[in-house]
Amino acid sequence: MDGTTLTPRAQRALQLVEAWAHRGRVRALLVRIGVTVLGPLVVLAGVAMLVLPGPGLVVMALGGALLALEYDWARRVLTACGRTLDRGRRAVVPRDASTVRRVLGAATAVALVVATTGTTAAVTTLVGSTFV
């Protein structure tokens, strides 16, 4: 994968991690096994947190980032997700918009986070009270 899709800071960090992980054959093998086992487990934990209490999307992204340390397909997926999120951010809060539009966009984003958190809490409470 070429470095043009990553920021210079992210590219340097990735190079440092790769240099450390591939310093020896045994270390490289252990890192690859660890990433291959832990990456999907972290993603699955994030998926479970979508319906259970916890930061599901953040944990899923961390699992994807862990997989991206070793696998190019995971880097491509994370890059595509980042582009999509950036497009969404620019649609909600454009750089050249008026102050009112920027405040309205930010308030809408905050309201969405509060609403989804409240909905998750309500569903969790309902499920918890049903099975007790």
Q: Are 83 and 108 part of one and the same domain?
A: no
Shared domain for 76 and 62, answered yes or no, is yes
Which pTM was predicted? 0.61
Cα–Cα distance, 77 to 6 (Å, whole number): 13
Structural domain count of the chain: 2
Q: Are residues 10 and 75 in the same domain?
A: yes
CA R_g for the chain = 19
Instruction: Examine the pLDDT at 46 and tell me if it is beyond 50.
Output: yes
- What is the average per-residue pLDDT within 82-104? 83
Percent residues over pLDDT 90 in the chain: 17
Q: Looking at the structure, do residues 19 and 62 belong to the same domain, yes or no?
A: yes
Lowest mean pLDDT among 4-13, 20-29, 61-70, 77-86: 4-13
Same domain, 79 and 113: no
Do 107 and 88 belong to one domain? no
Burial class for 9, CB neighbours closer than 10 Å (0-12, 13-18, 19+): exposed
Q: Are residues 105 and 123 in the same domain?
A: yes
Per-residue pLDDT at 2: 44
Residues 117 and 88 grouped into a single domain: no
pLDDT (0 to 100) of residue 6 = 67
Output the CA–CA distances (angstroms, integers) from residue 53 to 15, 42, 56, 122, in the order listed.
35, 15, 8, 11
Distance of CA 81 to the CA centre of its chain: 8
Least confident range from 23-27, 93-97, 103-107, 121-125: namely 93-97
Give yes or no: residues 83 and 100 share one domain.
no
Domain residues for 19? 3-92
Whether 79 has a pLDDT exceeding 50, the answer reads: yes
My answer on whether 36 and 64 are in the same domain is: yes
119 backbone dihedrals φ, ψ, rounded to 5°: -65, -45
